Chain A
Amino acid sequence: MSRYLDDFSLVDFTINALRVVIIVLVFWGAFNTLTLPADAGRITGEQWFDLFVAGLTQGSIYALIALGYTLVYGILLMINFAHGEIFMAGAFTTVFLATWMDKIGFLNGYPFVAIPLLIIFSGFISMIIAVLLERIAYRPLRGAPRLVPLITAIGASFFLQYTFRGLYGSGFKSYPTVDILKGSVAISGFSIPIARIFVFVSALVLMGGLYWLVERTKIGKAMRAVSEDKEVARLMGIDINFVIMFTFALGGLLAGAAGVINGLYRPQGVNFFMGFRPGIKAFTAAVLGGIGSVPGAMLGGLFLGVIEAIGPNLVMTGLGIPGPNQLQDVIAFTMLVLVLIFRPQGIIGERLTEKKA
């Protein structure tokens, strides 16, 4: 009896109880949703498909941003909490260029030139901000206790928000609409909005490019070497300061590109604070996929997007909770907390080693 009491841990018990409660709720909700009578608001197959595609679209934007978190973490074991602001920097700046391109008729006249130009421009802006951030705010703190750069990152995040507010004002802007992104295409009976295909395909191209770079090129090899062992990397002749700068640049480039892709998909809501939510969602995605892992960030982003889109409808409708789509963020952040409690190495990620933890 006393042995049993010794082994009993209130924390473990609570965690396990929580686990059971969550699983029961999820299954109960899903079961109820799927067995709703057709006249009581059952969600049709077509609606599910729509939700799924919307989720993939949103998820591929998360994935692009999540890569920035994961690349930096992989190399510096540091969470760059100002990464959402790097996304904002590109997206916010480029809205002016896009508006101007629209006004002179270039955007709709030559969309196949204009859109890539916008993406490159935004990527470039975000890249510069990311590199400056590393150089000015993070590099001097390298080797400091891990809490120090974390706090600096939060400070940098506010700094960037208010700098851009000072530059461009606090009002909301929106991206112009592009005609070729309007409408839908029908693929074997399902209709998919073109804008979503655009987002998904652009993200796929960028992620493919990044994967190739990390896995196949010399600089990619250097990045992986630095992330495994900085000292040995230096002995190989790798300039780790350059590699770290390059890593920030890459993360910035992807975030900036995501800014335009997002803006052309959902034009509203461009302002100095726009990086906060996607930033924190993408961080969640990176953690879901196992922070530090490149494929993890990609899959984590897509996964989060899909879960966010489908989850509330699937579970909460069945539990009788109204307006499930307004609870997307609740789902996302609940997932973050749950993953951090139950699987800190991420859903598909490797276990954090002693060194990294």
Chain B
Amino acid sequence: MSHFLEVEHLKMYFGGVKAVDDLSFYVDEHELLGIIGPNGSGKTTVFNGVTGIYKPTGGKVIFDGKDITGQSLRNMVYLGISRTFQNLRIFKAMTVLDNIMIGDTKNNHSNLFNAVFHTPRYRKYEEEARQNALEILEMTGLTEYRNKYVGSLPYGMQKRIEFARAVVVNPKLLLLDEPAAGLNSKEAEELMELIIEVKNRKGFTIIMIDHNMKIMMSSAERIVAMETGQLLAEGTPSEIQNDPDVIKAYLGEG
């Protein structure tokens, strides 16, 4: 009992499709948990259920001792959870700096009056937000691109920007949906190093979905393997690697 995040008997049904079916797992504080599974096995849907994009058909999500089942996506940042998306959801016609500063909205308390008249109070909050964003940009190696429009940057950079946006929220729990997908192996490696570094510096707890077994094996502390919406196996990377079910269902494929 009383892990940092507990997902209990989560069910996510879409009509007849049982995308997630009675899945339970947990994460402890400061842990990096990996979720693996073939395409369509329900990994993303787990994130969508936990972060309130879809209401779970059944089951519970307990975060930091609180039942947060079915809370809205918007509330997640206030609870201390932020996430990235498998299909990038960044702001392409905005600068990198603005993309990151949006992530800081919940800490920026200037009200409309201050904003409309650019009062000293507004400037103070704005400067704080900018410094905060610049710090994250520095940490994620994006400083020199801060004034570039995100849409004009390469895909690998965009992935990094979405990660940085999730970091500036300063969550307790960070959910990363295939952060390395679509990157070449060098980019993927660099991004993973960055994720681990940021995690250690900020003391985040992370759940990460990825296809890449190599990446998972080297970075995750524990792994949950899924198949057709259900738990296939759970354990340390080496346990998972040697699990006969996993080998059959996942590793055996490719």
Are A and B physically bound partners? no
Chain A residues packing against B (C-beta within 8 Å): none
Chain B residues packing against A (C-beta within 8 Å): none
